[in-house]
Amino acid sequence: MCGIVGYVGTRETIPILLDGLERLEYRGYDSAGIACIDPAEKNIRLFKAKGKIADLKSILNGFKSPARIGIGHTRWATHGVPSTINAHPHLGAKGRIAVVHNGIVENYRELKSELERKGIQFKSETDTEVIAQLIEYYDRGNLSKAVRRAAMRFEGYLAFVALSRDEPNYLVALKRSNPLVIGIGKGEHFVASDVSAILPYTKQVIYLDDEELVEVRAKEIQITNLKSQKKVTKKPCTIKWSIDQAQKGGYPDFMLKEIYEQPHVLQEILRKRISKSHQIEFDTLGQEASRHLKSAKKICFVSCGTAYHAGMVGQYMFEEFAHLSATAIVASEFRYSDPILGKGDLVILITQSGETADTLAALREAKEKGAFTLAVVNVVGSTIAREADAVVYTHAGSEIGVASTKAYTAQLMTLALLAFYTGKLRGKISRADFRRLILEAKEIPNQVKKTLEYAKGVNQVAKLLYQKRNFLYLGRGYNFPSALEGSLKLKEITYAHAHGYAAGEMKHGPIALIDDTQPVICLIPESKTYVKMLSNIEEIRAREGIVIAIATYGDRNIGRLSSHVVHIPSQREVFSPILTAIPLQILAYQIAVLNSRDVDKPRNLAKSVTVE
Ligand code: AGP
C-alpha cells in the first residue's frame, strides 16, 4: 500500500516529508518521491528515486529549500513497474500540478486516451498520472475547483493530495475508500495515509470520510463533500497510540492487522477484476496468455509453502470449471524432476514475493522445456513477474507478517476468477452459470467479514489447546489443501507440530495417533464429500480424539461430535477454502500469542526465501 505525506506550515518542508515517509516504510514500497514549492522560484521542485528513501536522500544530496508546502509518497506498484519515472509525485504536462496517490483509478485508460487526444503528453505507465493531468487540464487558477471537477470523473478506490505551483499556499486532498488523515498543528497542518507519519508533530488528527475533499492551509482546513460541496465539520481526535501501534493500525501486530484486512483486499480484487457488465478482466493478461489458457492440454501449478497450497486449490478449480487436467507440485521437486513438459503446456507459478528461489528456478526450467509460463504474483515488478511469459497480480498490498494470510486468500480469489475466465474461454461454463459464479464471488468479502465474526469463539479453543504439542488437520476435496495450509500456519508461528492430511487417509495410518490427548481440526463445510467427512469425525470421536470442527453455519450434525465448532457461512465449495482459511489463521495466531511467540517474525523464517 502506498504511503502519502503532505505539509503546509512555517517549517522547512523537506525534512518533515522525508521523516514522515520513513515512518511509512513499514508499509512496504519500491520507490519514493517528494515535491515542494519554492516560494522564491514559484516552481515545483520534484525529487524521485526507485528503491528506498535512502536513495531519495542521496538524490536530494542535502538540498535545502525555503519551501513551506510539499507532498511526499512511498509507492507500492500496482500499475507500471517500480521505476523513477513511475514513482510519485506525478506532474501535469505543464508542470503546474503535482499529485501523490494511494489506490487505483479504475477508469484511467479512457481518461488517459481522452487527454492524449487533446494533445497532452504522458510520461509514466501509472494510473496516477491521469489525476495530475486531468486536474491541470481543468485548472483555471483555482486548485480546489479543478480537483473537485476531476475527482467527479475518477472511478475506483483512491486517496490523493494535489498541489499547484500557482497557488503555493494550500494543498487539496480527496479521500475515497483508502485512508487519509489530517494532522492539526499550531500554524501548520499535515496530510498522511496513516497517523504514524505525523505523530512526532501532532496527536490531534481528523480522519476523513469517503467523498470528502479538504483544503489544507497553514492556519486552517476546510472539508466539504465532493458532490454537494456542503461544508463538513469534524472534531479532531487525540491519538493515544505509540508510533509502533499506529503502524499496525491499532492491532498488536501486522499478522492480525493483515488477517482483518482480508475483506477489504478481496473487495478490491473483485472491484478490479469484475467489470460493470459482470465480465472478468485481467488487465495484464495479453492475447498470447489467453490463447494458452484456451488451448493448453494440461496445467501445472508450481510454487512453495502457502503458495503451493493455493496451487493445490487452483488444481481443483481448473479441473472443475475449465475441465482441464491440472497438477500442483512444489517448486523444489519440480525443478529437479526433469518435468515432462513441452510446447502447448501451461505452467502457472504462484508466489507472493515473486523472488522465491525455487519458484524462480522452476520458472526457468519450464521455459527451457518450451512451456508457456504464467505467474500469479503479489509484488509488482518482482523477478518472477518480469521473467514469466505473462503475469497476473493478486493486489493483496504489502504483506509484512512472515506467515502469509491476506496474500493467500488473494491468491485463492485470483485463481478462482482465472479458472472461471478459462472455463468461459473454453466454453465449459454457460452464461447463466458464469453470472451465478460472479454474483457468488462478489458475496465473498462479506462472507469473510461474517467468518471473522464467527471466529470470535476461536480464542476459547486456543485456550483449550495452546499447550498441546501435536495437532492433526483433516480435510477433503477443496479443503484438503486448507488442512495443509492450516497446519503450516500453526507450525510456523507456534512451533508446535501440526500435520495436514487428506481425511480419507485416516485409516491408512494417522488414525493410530488418535486418543483423548490428540486435537484434530476437521474441515467439514457443506460439500460433496460432507458425509464422508462426517464418518471420519465419527471414527475420531470413537477413539476419544478432541475434534475441533470448521463447519457451515446451521450444520445440525456436527455439534454432538465436536468439542468445539467454528462456523463459516454457507458457500459454494470452490470458495470455501477462502472462508475456512480465516478461523485456521486465527487459531494459529491465538495459540502463538498464548505461547508468547513473535507472530510477525517467527524464528528461522524469512518473508521471502531467496535461497535454495
Ligand atoms: C507462508 O506463511 C510462508 N511464509 C512460506 O511458506 C511462503 O508461502 C513460501 O516461502 C512461498 O513464498 P512466496 O509466495 O513469496 O513465493
Say what the pLDDT of residue 436 is.
Answer: 97
Residue 61 to residue 80: CA distance in whole angstroms: 27
C-beta pairs of 114-118 under 8 Å, 24+ apart in sequence: none
Give the domains, in start order, of the chain with CATH numbers. Answer: 3-245 (3.60.20.10), 255-442 (3.40.50.10490), 449-599 (3.40.50.10490)
**Is 607 considered catalytic here?**
yes
Instruction: Note the pLDDT of residue 162.
Output: 98
User: Which residue has its alpha carbon closest to ligand 1 atom 16?
Assistant: 351
CA distances from residue 57 to 32, 49, 75, 398, 405 in whole angstroms, order as listed:
10, 9, 16, 23, 34
Q: Sorting pLDDT into bands at 50, 70 and 90, what band is 498? A: very high
Question: Confidence class of residue 250 from pLDDT cuts 50, 70 and 90?
Answer: confident
- Residue 520: per-residue pLDDT: 98
Give the mean pLDDT of 508-513. Answer: 94
Q: How far is the CA of 306 from the centre of ligand 1 (A)?
A: 5
**What's the pLDDT tens digit per position in 557-572?**
999 999 999 999 999 9
| Residue 302 Cα to ligand 1 middle (Å) | 12
What is the spatial distance between Cα 156 and Cα 107, in angstroms, rounded to a whole number?
Answer: 8
Is the pLDDT confidence value at 445 over 90? yes
Distance CA 131, CA 106 (A): 12
* pLDDT over 90 at 156, yes or no: no
C-alpha 612/C-alpha 608 separation (Å) is: 11
Q: Shortest CA distance to 5 belongs to which of 134, 229, 195?
A: 195
Residue 551 DSSP label: E
Tens digit of pLDDT for each residue in 158-199? 899 999 999 999 999 999 978 899 999 999 999 999 888 999
> What is the C-alpha separation between 42 and 426, in angstroms, rounded?
59
Contact 37, 44 (CB under 8 A): yes
Atom 6 in ligand 1: residue holding the nearest Cα: 305
Choose one of 254, 585, 609 to mutate for the ligand 1 pocket test, by most ligand atoms within 8 angstroms of C-beta: 609
Q: Rounded to whole angstroms, what are the CA distances from 20 to 15, 23, 389, 398, 408?
A: 8, 5, 38, 18, 30
pLDDT 10s digits, 527-539: 999 999 999 999 9
Closest residue by Cα to residue 477 from 536, 414, 529, 421: 529
CB count in 10 Å sphere of residue 241: 15
Active site residue 2: yes
Contact 607, 402 (CB under 8 A): yes
Is 382's pLDDT higher than 80? yes
Pairing of strands 346-351, 298-303: parallel
pLDDT at res. 505: 96
Query: Is the pLDDT at 104 greater than 90, yes or no?
Result: no
Q: Which of 259, 304, 490 for mutating ligand 1's site (highest number of atoms within 8 Å of CB)?
A: 304
User: Do residues 482 and 491 make contact, with C-beta atoms less than 8 angstroms apart?
Assistant: no
Asked if pLDDT for residue 25 goes beyond 90, the answer is no
What H or E segment, with its residue span, contains residue 375?
Answer: strand 372-377
Is the pLDDT at 40 greater than 90, yes or no?
A: no
3-state helix, strand, coil in the chain (%, to 5): 40, 25, 35
Rounded Cα–Cα distance for residues 137 and 85 (Å): 21
Residue 597 corresponds to which cell in the numbers above? 511467540
Within 8 A by CB and 6+ apart from 121, the residues are 93
Within 10 angstroms of residue 104's Cβ, the number of other Cβ atoms is 22
Q: Locate the ligand 1 atom nearest the alpha carbon of residue 488 and give its number.
A: 2
Average pLDDT over residues 208-217: 96
Beta strand pairing status for 470-475 and 519-524?
Answer: parallel
- The residue contributing the CA closest to ligand 1 atom 9 is 305
Cα 386 to averaged position of ligand 1 atoms, centre (Å): 19
Phi, psi dihedral angles at 317 (to 5 degrees): -65, -45
Q: Say whether pLDDT at 446 is over 90.
A: yes
Ligand 1, atom 3, lies closest to the CA of 403
Q: How confident is the model at residue 247 (pLDDT cuts 50, 70, 90)?
A: confident
Per-residue pLDDT tens digits for 398-416: 898 999 999 999 999 999 9
Name residues whose C-beta falls within 8 Å of residue 532's C-beta, 6 or more positions apart in sequence: 476, 503, 504
Cα 296 versus chain centre, distance: 29
Helical axes 262-273 vs 406-425, angle rounded to 10°: 30
Q: Which of 109-118, 259-268, 376-385 has the lowest mean pLDDT?
A: 376-385
Q: Determine the atom of ligand 1 nearest the C-alpha atom of 379.
A: 15
The chain-wide mean pLDDT, for the chain, equals: 94
- Closest-CA residue, ligand 1 atom 7, reads 305
CA–CA distance, 19 with 74 (Å, rounded to integer): 12
Residues having CB closer than 6 A to ligand 1 are: 304-307, 351-353, 356, 359, 402-404, 492, 608-609
User: Which ranges constitute the DSSP H helices of 296-382?
Assistant: 305-321, 331-334, 357-368
Single pTM value for the model: 0.84
What is the average pLDDT across 480-492? 98
Distance 258 CA to ligand 1 centre (A): 15
Locate cell 504489502: which residue? 398
Q: What is the mean pLDDT of residues 581-600?
A: 97
**Distance from C-alpha of 114 to C-alpha of 123, rounded to nearest angstrom:** 15
Q: Indicate the SS3 state at residue 500.
A: strand
Cis status, amide bond into 89, omega within 30 of 0: yes
Determine the angle formed by the axes of helices 128-138 and 108-117, rounding to 10 degrees: 50
Q: How confident is the model at residue 80 (pLDDT cuts 50, 70, 90)?
A: confident
